[in-house]
Amino acid sequence: MSRICVIGTGYVGLVSGAGLADFGNSVTCVDIDHEKIDTLQKGEIPIYEPGLKELVDRNVSASRLAFSSDVETSIQNAEVIFIAVGTPTGHNGEADLAAVESVALTIAKNLNSYKVICTKSTVPVGTGARLEQLISENSTQEHEFDIVSNPEFLREGSAVKDFLLPDRVVIGVSDKRAETILRDVYRPLFINETPMVITNISSSEMIKYASNAFLAVKISFINEMANLADKVGGDIHSIARAMGLDGRISSKFLHPGPGYGGSCFPKDTEALVQTGAQHGVQFQVVQAAIEANKTQRQIILEKVRELIPDMQGKRVAVLGLAFKANTDDVRDTPAVEIIQGLMDMGAEIRAYDPIAAANMKKNYFPELDCRSSVNETVEGADLVIVLTEWNELRGLSLKEFKSLVKTPNIVDARNILSVDQLKEYGFNYRNVGRSSV
């Protein structure tokens, strides 16, 4: 069992800290945000993630997991320190490492014994070397330490499962002693024969960006294929299914929609392009995916105009605000740009999301009219637009739905509604890659 300090109790830090505790380690999650720590100490979870509260409660009860705002003491007491603070997009698209570097300086001042310092935050290649330099130059005592890169691959909505049962664990090291310690931290996964990729730090840092960029490219690709299918009468579901049956391609992330969003893909693709530029490498494919993703949101608005050319004074019901189902995360959600576009057209917006409505009002549209049910939201609407693939929206009764709306116009930007039923009940509809089917 290792004594671990996880610095940062955001999405990555909280899930990782609770998961590491579940592996039998003694974990203290720390944060300079006293309000967040007070919330966690009361047993409340500040983010929505299925299964996370149960995981936290289980390990707090077993005395393996604790929360503290005393960062310095927690660092001093730890053998392994995980850095899990935010790396938002900077002014030019590069990753802003201010929080990571601030943590490194705090570690340097509290380095009282040998420690393994591990980056969970998504950071550009070269960050490990930068942290080693910062800590070495600012340490007040002569103690050895090792930098390790251990990127996370947590999908919002299934992060707990992803941490406890991962596809792989990537560990970037430059020292055998640090590798041995990290293997012990993840010992239950070694026993379960989870694939472990042990590599150098630079490779590890690149793996996270490479993975997210590839998936972003895949999403943008299938969206462009869907746009063509709309023009020529193709069915993107059939196309994607046939593509996915090819083992070289697989079916994952071949789901067309309004474009990717969230906390990872948008900022990581931008950061990778900027890192490439700094080293004289052009990421033309990734840049194209970024541009295609921006265009996709405008294409959804074009579908709205096809149904109602003049939106002035029209009531639009927006179903779904989170960037994906099973999360309350609205960072870079397509809903922001689409709602703003509808407002610019003069539309009156009503919105519904089972989890993310409060975050949308807090971060983007304070005056947004958010309703507590689907029926209340769509009643009297001139147009309905589906933007998040919540399960409750998949099961909508379109017969009842039609009796509530003023005009049966619908843009299903997630392709979760039955085309046959849309036709049966007389809806004027647009999908993504199925509008002509």
Q: Which residues are annotated as catalytic?
A: 264
Q: Sheet containing 315-319: which strands, arranged edge to edge?
A: 369-370, 348-352, 315-319, 383-386, 409-412, 428-430
Name the residue among 265, 301, 266 with its Cα closest to residue 413.
301
Query: Environment class of residue 46 by beta-carbon count within 10 Å: exposed (0-12), middle (13-18) or buried (19+)?
Result: middle
Tell me the torsion sign for CA atoms 369, 320, 338, 287. Answer: positive
User: 114 to each of 171, 191, 396, how far by Cα in Å?
Assistant: 19, 27, 58
Alpha-carbon Rg for the chain in angstroms: 24
Token pair of 250, please?
């697989």
The answer to whether the Cα torsion of 132, 90, 274, 297 is positive or negative is positive
Pairing outcome for strands 196-199 and 315-319: unpaired
The half-sphere exposure of 68 on its side-chain side, counting CA atoms within 13 A, is: 15
Calpha distance 70→269 (Å, rounded): 34
* Under 8 Å between Cβ of 68 and 27: no
DSSP string, 114-137: -EEEEE-S---TTHHHHHHHHHHH
Other residues' Cβ atoms within 10 Å of the Cβ of residue 226: 27
State the DSSP code for 95. B
| Residue positions counted in the chain | 437
The encoded tokens of residue 1 equal 């069992």
Nearest to 29 by CA among 70, 1, 61, 87: 70
